[in-house]
């Protein structure tokens, strides 16, 4: 398709024509009557108090505050991409040209992030996508960071915090404050996110794979002959030990979470019960003080059997209950 040359130049905006942003090192087009591109403050700005983002289309607001054209898919309020009437998730905008891939192409490239499109992190040996106006990916400091004091993780979505500190979309299940997975309204425990496609498995699929860790999903250890799951941010499993190790002298176990020790030496989250130093199960308490997964029956607080949601007693009792029509389990 032919595009109009800009100003006194012989090229269109995409190929360098027209007025350019006057910020040193920026080659983007200056917007409107200003001397700057949108990223550096040019063009019309959002009229929402305290917001300095660019207004979209003929509206007075930025995307976050309702400006711009919206996706026409029922129940979707995301921004429509390009000249289409749909957001990227519903097929709008330019698509990746990789055979069999229908994801949205990134930036001015012809490919999605997974196939090499978009701006890349400049850290040596890193091929991840650069975040925001920075030159680095989230792991190397790019993009917006969590506003919590002392936290350097990435802020999620339009919030100011990382997932751990309340950022991003939360699960809508009553009394649950965990992060919602993917495009769903629920956390992994309450059914949100992509599930493992292995027959009969309902666990969460890991990363960009279609399987849970137990069925081969996620990054695997690169040690020859090993198919175990690689530890976070490393290429090896715990056995081949090139991840973060416990700093206790003589201990070769893996450090847990953001700590420098294994669970046995005080690493990981601890029980919040006053005077208790045991390892927390889940987000708050140790097993003794009510932490971890419990039997689904409202009358029972015992630990469930492996890979089930009920304890041994209730599993057996429920079978009898269906026949005898009793309302409560027998005395223990």
pLDDT tens profile 98-111: 898 888 888 778 88
**Contacts (Cβ under 8 Å, ≥6 apart) of 88:** 78, 81, 103, 104
Question: In this model, does residue 228 exceed pLDDT 60?
Answer: yes
Domain ranges of the chain: 94-165, 169-241, 243-288
Predicted confidence at residue 232, as pLDDT, reads 66
User: Distance between CA 231 and CA 245 in Å, rounded?
Assistant: 11
Q: Mean pLDDT for the chain? A: 79
Residue 129: phi and psi, rounded to 5, are -75, 135
The span from the CA of 252 to the CA of 254, in Å, is 7
Residue 82 has pLDDT above 60, yes or no: yes
pLDDT at 3: 47
Residue that wins the pLDDT comparison between 233 and 163: 163
242/323: higher pLDDT: 242
Instruction: Name the pLDDT band for 308 (thresholds 50, 70, 90).
Output: low
pLDDT, mean of residues 261-277: 86
- Write down the pLDDT at residue 152: 85
Determine the Cα–Cα distance for residues 224 and 109; give it in Å rounded to an integer: 36
Least confident of 100-109, 144-153, 226-235: 226-235
Mean local confidence (pLDDT), 120-140: 84
What is the pLDDT at residue 320?
46
Between the CA of residue 229 and those of 209, 217, 233, 267, 325, what are the distances in Å? 13, 8, 11, 21, 46
Spatial separation of the C-alpha atoms in residues 260 and 245, rounded to whole Å: 7
pLDDT (tens digit per residue) in 162-173: 888 888 888 998
Model pLDDT, residue 322: 44
Is residue 252 within 8 A of residue 234, CB to CB? The reply is no
Give the model's confidence band at 253: pLDDT under 50 very low, under 70 low, under 90 confident, else very high: confident
The reported pTM is: 0.44
d(CA 29, CA 42): 9
295 or 76: which carries more pLDDT confidence? 76
- Residue 86 CA: distances (Å) to CA of 4, 76, 293, 300: 26, 9, 41, 48
| pLDDT band at residue 301 under the 50/70/90 scheme | low
Inter-CA distances, 232 with 31, 195, 255, 259, 269, Å: 42, 20, 11, 13, 17
Span 253-270, average pLDDT: 82
**DSSP 3-state assignment of 321?**
helix
Sign of CA pseudo-dihedral 310, 311, 312, 314: negative
């Amino acid at each position: 398709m032919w595009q109009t040359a800009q100003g006194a130049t012989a090229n269109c905006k995409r190929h360098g024509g027209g007025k350019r942003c006057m910020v040193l090192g920026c080659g983007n087009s200056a917007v409107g009557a200003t001397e700057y591109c949108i990223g550096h403050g040019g063009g019309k700005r959002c009229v929402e108090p305290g917001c300095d983002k660019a207004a979209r289309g003929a509206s007075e607001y930025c995307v976050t505050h309702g400006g711009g054209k919206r996706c026409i898919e029922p129940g979707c309020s995301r921004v429509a991409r390009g000249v289409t009437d749909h957001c990227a998730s519903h097929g709008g905008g330019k698509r990746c040209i990789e055979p069999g891939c229908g994801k949205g192409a990134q930036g001015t490239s012809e490919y999605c992030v997974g196939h090499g499109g978009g701006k890349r992190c400049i850290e040596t040996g890193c091929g991840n996508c650069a975040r925001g106006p920075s030159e680095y990916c989230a792991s190397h400091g790019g993009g917006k960071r969590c506003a919590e004091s002392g936290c350097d993780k990435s802020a999620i979505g339009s919030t100011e915090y990382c997932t751990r500190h309340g950022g991003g979309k939360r699960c809508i299940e009553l009394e649950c404050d965990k992060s919602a997975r993917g495009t769903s309204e629920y956390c992994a425990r309450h059914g949100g996110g992509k599930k493992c496609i292995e027959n009969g498995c309902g666990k969460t699929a890991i990363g960009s794979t279609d399987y849970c860790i137990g069925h081969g999903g996620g990054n695997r250890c690169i040690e020859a002959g090993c198919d175990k799951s690689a530890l976070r941010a490393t290429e090896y499993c715990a056995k081949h030990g090139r991840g973060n190790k416990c700093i206790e002298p003589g201990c070769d176990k893996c450090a847990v979470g953001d700590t420098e020790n294994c669970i046995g030496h005080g690493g990981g989250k601890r029980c919040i019960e006053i005077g208790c130093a045991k390892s927390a199960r889940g987000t708050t308490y140790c097993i003794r003080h009510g932490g971890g997964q419990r039997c689904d029956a409202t009358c029972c607080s015992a630990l469930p059997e492996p890979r089930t949601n009920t304890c041994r007693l209730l599993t057996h009792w429920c079978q009898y209950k269906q026949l005898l029509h009793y309302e409560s389990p027998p005395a223990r």
